[in-house]
Amino acid sequence: MYSVGVRDHFMIAHSLSGEAFGPAQRLHGATFIVDVEFRRAQLDELGIVVDIALATRVLQQILGQLNYRNLDSEPELAGHNTTTEFLARTIFERLAARIRGGELGAAALGLQSLRVTLHESHVAWASYDAALAQ
């Protein structure tokens, strides 16, 4: 399996529900480093996994919808605990939709899976990894 990764970051404010979160139940800020790994078994006709420039641009657009936002106030996230794990899947789903929509080019339709990893610190991270619907 071949893979290519791109990286970016975003900053948010949010609060988490549940006693397990201790002080994070209060409104607080977080900065996430985001790694996305695109995977496929065979390279496309150009010999690449995905166009890195397009992948970077689309990831920036997706993160731009979250950056400098209070996630507690975002209607599409209402009713969800915006944990690192939840956000990894949210970014995965938004990216998968953009791939299906052709925004990473026709060759990206041959991608087989993605992994989205959010690093919430230098010692902790969470990922969402799944096959892409063909």
Average pLDDT over residues 33-61: 96
Has residue 27 got a pLDDT over 70? yes
In this predicted structure, what is the pLDDT of residue 133?
Answer: 81
For residue 36, the enclosing domain spans 2-15+27-131
**Domain count across the chain:** 1
In this predicted structure, what is the pLDDT of residue 95?
Answer: 97
Q: Taking a C-beta distance cutoff of 8 angstroms, is the pair 67, 10 a contact? A: yes
| 44 found inside a domain | yes
Global pTM exceeds 0.75: yes
Is residue 60 within a helix (H) or strand (E), and if so which, with residue range?
A: helix 52-64
Residue 51, CA distances (Å) to 8, 37, 80, 89, 104 in order = 16, 12, 33, 22, 7
| 124 found inside a domain | yes
| 68 found inside a domain | yes
| 21 found inside a domain | no
Name 127's bridge partners. Answer: 117
Q: Which of 79, 106, 107, 77 is nearest to 93 (CA)?
A: 77
Q: What is the pLDDT of residues 50-85, one digit of tens each?
A: 999 999 999 999 999 999 999 999 999 988 999 999
Average pLDDT over residues 105-113: 91
Residues 62, 58: Cα–Cα separation, whole Å: 6
| 53 found inside a domain | yes
Across the chain, mean pLDDT equals: 95
| 22 found inside a domain | no
- CATH number of residue 87's parent domain: 3.30.479.10
Q: Which of 96, 34, 106 is nearest to 67 (CA)?
A: 34
Q: What is the pLDDT of residues 81-103, one digit of tens each?
A: 999 999 999 999 999 999 999 99
The residues, any chain, with a CB within 8 Å of residue 57's CB and separated by 6 or more, are: none
